[in-house]
Structure 1
């Protein structure tokens, strides 16, 4: 299966989105299609063996839209929209002047030929059939495909106005009858103006995502056969040696093979302090080399880099349909046909009952009904807020993998934290080493260090740091095995080494009476203690301390203020977890739990009707993250491969958890405001139009501004 993103131009309302998704989704070989009105992007998953991309593109174009594989709207396209509006506005000046003259009863304040119906007809024809031609083209394509869109309403209203006026121009009546030329021209002009402003606002809404894509370098210097070559970033191959000059962006993920420098990785880690990089260190595409010259070996293709994964996650969340979108979709599906029916009923009601045989008045009311109804605001209400909210979150290092998680997060009732590496710094240090009499400390540490070399646990890193400090050479190991929830096992030569919790030794039937008092003393003081057995005999213990994160206390306090119940689920010893809970003022905690036990705890809470968010950082947390209603993984910024989580935090700051909840809550509030405005706008203005209290040009102006208001409201989320 292959996934591709297309840029679709010409969509103006949710009905356009539904038409594309419905028609393309029915094509055999298309697995899924998600179209976002706010960004103009379509994400399509299809089977290349069953159909090719060009066929999908042609089917979309047959629906009346333009398609390209460009990932962002070009400024040239916005300039074209502006030019169309300015030209339409310029040509509309004589028509608007005539309307104002009639309204205020002025005599000859304008050139007399401006009053000539044929002059007005020619100007309107240029605006309507030249500048406004795309409206009719899209409306016709929709009609051919048995659909109705906003373009249908624009086409019907302007065609009615122009057709009626043209008929009276050809066959003037004995009494002076007003014409609708200015209404038709102003409808086109105001809608073009609104669309241009909306496009500018939408470009602003995509700013946070664009800031990420701007981090991609365009060119790189590669060293081949001792020669320097400047190439495009997408031409870099794995294994290429790249030269990174001071001040240049690192174009791709790689390993430093020569040189030393400071690198700005703030986009990834959130830390403003540059990181020292030297031989063997990893560097990430999008970061900036600040001082020294570096040579790096490319380890990933550009499309697989850490930055590319970040952008893909953000775009996926923005394209995904949040559940609340269903409200707008259900209304939009029947919106335009209902408006057409209301306009027809309005025409006959005025023509037959309210103002019998006054054709001009009946047409005016029907046109106003058609043009004032706006499905655009409904279509933009949800995706625009999701676009801005997820973009702002990405700027803070919070990646929502799908739009539905952005909606669901604030609805969580209970937040469960893993302890080590989540609530604590994850950078433990060895505080005590205790060896029983029959073993030598140096041999003890050689066995422990050799075993822990293969472990990825933070405790292992702390132990290896201490052993490195003591300059102890380590032998090789065999048959290493991680025992989730218990510890690790390996063989040094023929000797079997076990390192882990007291549960591990009990499970293996190994007694640890000689160190029991020392074990209890260290656990009581808040240390994490690892027991070591060599050849099935207790050899000693290593105590490690792990500091509480600086922002842990304030973050837990803020989560409680948001009305959430906060708890801890950890595999650590009960006394250690109890001490951490006491420091953070957390009343609910579970200690000495295995990965499968975390799952059971979450399921028990869920069975009481509560929604659970699980926050962890290790592979042991994967089952719990998957079971929770929302799984949040905390990483160092480079590990975006955790498929178990729904939200990835690139930084290790706990305050990002608080920000994620706040962004979720405010985004949903923003969506509801947008939906309320969109529904309220139509609920108020359509009856006013039916009652004849509005005229067509006011309808066009308010219709053009309605969707703009939705976009501007969504932009408030950036602050």
Structure 2
């Protein structure tokens, strides 16, 4: 038995799948590693089934076991499931559902989101029956509904239908409650405000008849529209796990029950305490229903970004069938199909243009309103809008594989995630409702013991006010609503947050490290300079050099060939081609001997390049690589090829500096070239001559001194550095591997997106802090007021009706504040050279 175990505790067994074991020594290593985990009584590992059977002496700790297996060098496959949960109403519900799910054997982690009314559950692959998770949710008092990931749109539609039905029920219940509450409120409050009305009612109706009328109306409100609170609140109380509904039930029922006793058995109450509070019980129910309705409407608006993204999907496509184009449902399009897009059509799925040309509005993925030219060989994205021309293209990705479907999944994942800041809220709400009930009890006892007469009345009213005002709805909504609106707005401006942690971490970044090729630069070399020696014709020389370079696979050669073809030059026939690795190439073109290469190659051939010394130096200072060509043994030309800096890169770096950030460049280029680019762009730090596998070490060096680093890259070799950085930012036009390794994806491929992502991160976290401050400050300040601490000083008491109104207002305030993020404007936009880099935000 493990030294850490408790012999007296009950043993709980749990299985763990393990990947990567190959022999008996693997088994021993895993068993030894698991045995060292606190609370593990024994561990048995089976190589044939690739699993471990672990016995816990006491409360299981599956995450610790998984960590131990991974520390031993093996992996534990996990799967993620999303579950819709019906019936949650406040932050305490969230905490209760999470604890219930995590207690299921095989569940590693559960994250419940009140705003999306969903749970993301991470569990051991194949080891956790979904029925067990559903049963745990039901036992906690809520109803689970499975989300079908294969048909995300359908599940979203059904979710919207469910929300619509709940909204209709809330409107109906609120209408009934308001109609029945209004007469009670007007007559009761009117009697207090207008003595003549009070006298008339007593003389013509009678106090007992009035009380009975109030009883009938208030009872219908209490157990008609108010029944929803009893259905959730009473079972929660019986489980000793009270929630917001429990507070409403206790508060309104106390006011109603006291009034019933005063109406039908007044002799039971002490002299001077026979009062009715039907208006309080009815108004509490009505105002809280109003708050729920406003919350439901606002919650629906927080997910508008997802709805808009869903709306971008085309409903049908024109597909080639038997030699002609016919309209088919989008679901019938398959990879390899040829599709036709006409002016004004939505592009149905992702693909590559075969024929025709047009301009396509890609604002949905880039955030940029300027249409992009598309011709043969160009990539098109499903959901974008064709403008003027028409074209045919071949489908390369359909259904869940399209870029739009991936964007929707990323946004949904980000909206459902939790920020580290939420941990504080979870800790507070875990004990908040029981603490409120204790505070209400103490309030009742204090007023009953020390209060003025009628003490019972004061005790009841103030205890009810404490119960009602302290509902933690606003706490539960403070963080998730801001995340939903913020990440949705981010998607609209071309920034995708893949998880909530990145949304919080990005605002604290101090250093932005940029990969050079494909991030700072276009990633594709182009010919920038062509200096011809005396006696040679420019077009003839370029045609001869391009003909030789056409035989080479090198990117620099491709740039020269592309330049010649852009000028419409005809390339001659090539003979006797020879490549000298590290030096250059030579060949005979139309009878003329042409040699192309670095200065060392021409020196090797006995040809001096000193005549171009000044020009070569200028090229080097601009981070351009000079090449030379000789024709028939004579120096003919100096050519500069470089990977050009993207047009918006200087503007983006200026914008980052204006935000107070340091900018670093990580590149495999030689230091001289790297320093030249850094000087040209105003980059603060340079890490040069980095091998592809050395970028992780470069990120570690930049993090020295505790600095928070965001790494921006686009290539396969950037994936480890993206994963290692505090925040990995992938250029969306890069490779899928880089995008999968990143925390944030910039769909436009534009560095200005980094500035926008950081600005949005700061705006969202600031919004969350405002919400949390309001939620906590509201409760911290008003609970004592509701308890009556101001009464000895100023005679101020907070009626249960005002408490109900204030409680509803707090949630509406939090939701309204989160909605302000929808107006966030991207601070950095592409502008003409020399224009200001930052546009004012709204």
Settle same-fold status: TM greater than 0.5.
yes
What is the CA–CA distance in structure 2 between the aligned matches of 1:675 and 1:67, rounded to whole Å? 28
The structure showing larger relative contact order (alpha-carbon pairs under 8 Å, at least 6 residues apart) is 1
Instruction: Give structure 1 stretches of 5+ with no counterpart.
Output: 476-482, 490-498, 534-538
Aligned equivalent of 1:452, options 531, 539, 553:
553
Match of 1:589, SS state, is: strand
Instruction: Report the CA distance between 1:523 and its aligned residue.
Output: 4.5
Map of 1:685 onto structure 2: 782
Verify: 1:125 aligned to 2:219, yes or no.
yes
Verify: 1:696 aligned to 2:784, yes or no.
no
What is the CA–CA distance in structure 2 between the aligned matches of 1:275 and 1:614, rounded to whole Å? 28
Instruction: Report the CA distance between 1:346 and its aligned residue.
Output: 0.7
Map of 2:41 onto structure 1: none
What is the CA–CA distance in structure 2 between the aligned matches of 1:127 and 1:515, rounded to whole Å? 100
What is the CA–CA distance in structure 1 between the aligned matches of 2:820 and 2:196, rounded to whole Å? 47
Query: Can you list the C-alpha shifts for 1:561-580, whole angstroms capped at 9, x where unaligned?
Result: 32212222222233333233
Aligned equivalent of 1:82, options 158, 168, 171:
171
Verify: 1:591 aligned to 2:698, yes or no.
no
Map of 1:710 onto structure 2: 814
Instruction: Report the CA distance between 1:594 and its aligned residue.
Output: 2.3
What is the CA–CA distance in structure 1 between the aligned matches of 2:235 and 2:316, rounded to whole Å? 42
When normalised by structure 1's length, the TM-score is 0.85
Match of 1:8, SS state, is: strand
Map of 1:154 onto structure 2: 248
What is the CA–CA distance in structure 2 between the aligned matches of 1:487 and 1:674, rounded to whole Å? 64
Aligned equivalent of 1:262, options 338, 359, 369:
359
Verify: 1:92 aligned to 2:181, yes or no.
yes
What is the CA–CA distance in structure 1 between the aligned matches of 2:606 and 2:624, rounded to whole Å? 18
Match of 1:567, SS state, is: strand
Map of 2:261 onto structure 1: 167
Greater mean deviation of Cα atoms: 351-360 or 219-228: 219-228
Aligned equivalent of 1:14, options 91, 100, 115:
91
Verify: 1:43 aligned to 2:137, yes or no.
no
Verify: 1:674 aligned to 2:771, yes or no.
yes
Match of 1:593, SS state, is: coil
Structure-2 change in CA distance of 1:619 and 1:77 (3 Å): same
Query: Can you list the C-alpha shifts for 1:308-333, whole angstroms capped at 9, x where unaligned?
Result: 11111111112111100111111000
What is the CA–CA distance in structure 1 between the aligned matches of 2:604 and 2:128, rounded to whole Å? 65
What is the CA–CA distance in structure 2 between the aligned matches of 1:700 and 1:61, rounded to whole Å? 29
Instruction: Report the CA distance between 1:373 and its aligned residue.
Output: 0.2
Map of 1:26 onto structure 2: 103
Instruction: Report the CA distance between 1:603 and its aligned residue.
Output: 1.2
Greater mean deviation of Cα atoms: 618-627 or 667-676: 618-627
Question: 1:407, 1:668 within 8 Å by CA — same for their partners in 2?
Answer: yes
Matches within 5 A, 1:532-611: 543-611=640-708
Aligned equivalent of 2:160, options 49, 68, 73:
73
Q: Who wins on radius of gyration, i.e. which is larger?
A: 2
Match of 1:608, SS state, is: coil
What is the CA–CA distance in structure 2 between the aligned matches of 1:488 and 1:188, rounded to whole Å? 85
Query: Can you list the C-alpha shifts for 1:210-251, whole angstroms capped at 9, x where unaligned?
Result: 322221233445454568765543444333444544323223
The count of corresponding residues between Structure 1 and Structure 2 is 684
What is the CA–CA distance in structure 2 between the aligned matches of 1:473 and 1:18, rounded to whole Å? 75
Verify: 1:415 aligned to 2:492, yes or no.
no
Question: 2:714, 2:735 within 8 Å by CA — same for their partners in 1?
Answer: no
Match of 1:665, SS state, is: helix
What is the CA–CA distance in structure 2 between the aligned matches of 1:500 and 1:712, rounded to whole Å? 65
Map of 2:284 onto structure 1: 187
Map of 2:427 onto structure 1: 330
Question: 1:422, 1:615 within 8 Å by CA — same for their partners in 2?
Answer: yes
Question: 1:113, 1:119 within 8 Å by CA — same for their partners in 2?
Answer: no
Matches within 5 A, 1:116-515: 116-143=210-237, 145-173=239-267, 177-225=274-322, 232-257=329-354, 259-355=356-452, 358-426=455-523, 428-431=525-528, 449=550, 452=553, 462-463=559-560, 465-466=562-563, 468-469=565-566, 470=569
Greater mean deviation of Cα atoms: 389-398 or 121-130: 121-130
Match of 1:389, SS state, is: helix
What is the CA–CA distance in structure 1 between the aligned matches of 2:465 and 2:453, rounded to whole Å? 19
Structure-2 change in CA distance of 1:167 and 1:222 (3 Å): farther
Aligned equivalent of 1:659, options 740, 744, 756:
756
Instruction: Report the CA distance between 1:37 and its aligned residue.
Output: 1.2
What is the CA–CA distance in structure 1 between the aligned matches of 2:286 and 2:498, rounded to whole Å? 40
Map of 1:496 onto structure 2: none
Aligned equivalent of 1:101, options 171, 190, 196:
190
Question: 1:526, 1:545 within 8 Å by CA — same for their partners in 2?
Answer: no
Instruction: Report the CA distance between 1:371 and its aligned residue.
Output: 0.4
What is the CA–CA distance in structure 2 between the aligned matches of 1:172 and 1:348, rounded to whole Å? 22
Map of 1:478 onto structure 2: none
Instruction: Report the CA distance between 1:362 and its aligned residue.
Output: 0.8
Greater mean deviation of Cα atoms: 414-423 or 655-664: 414-423
What is the CA–CA distance in structure 1 between the aligned matches of 2:807 and 2:597, rounded to whole Å? 68
Query: Can you list the C-alpha shifts for 1:312-359, whole angstroms capped at 9, x where unaligned?
Result: 111111211110011111100000000001111111111122236722
Query: Can you list the C-alpha shifts for 1:128-183, whole angstroms capped at 9, x where unaligned?
Result: 21212221111234345542211111111122122222222221347672212211
What is the CA–CA distance in structure 1 between the aligned matches of 2:117 and 2:138, rounded to whole Å? 14
Match of 1:566, SS state, is: strand
Question: 2:546, 2:561 within 8 Å by CA — same for their partners in 1?
Answer: no
RMSD of aligned C-alpha atoms? 3.8
Question: 1:268, 1:638 within 8 Å by CA — same for their partners in 2?
Answer: no
What is the CA–CA distance in structure 1 between the aligned matches of 2:583 and 2:181, rounded to whole Å? 78
Instruction: Give structure 2 stretches of 5+ with no counterpart.
Output: 1-77, 148-154, 533-540, 575-580, 586-595, 630-634, 792-796, 824-842
Structure-2 change in CA distance of 1:401 and 1:223 (3 Å): same
What is the CA–CA distance in structure 1 between the aligned matches of 2:226 and 2:548, rounded to whole Å? 80
What is the CA–CA distance in structure 1 between the aligned matches of 2:415 and 2:557, rounded to whole Å? 39
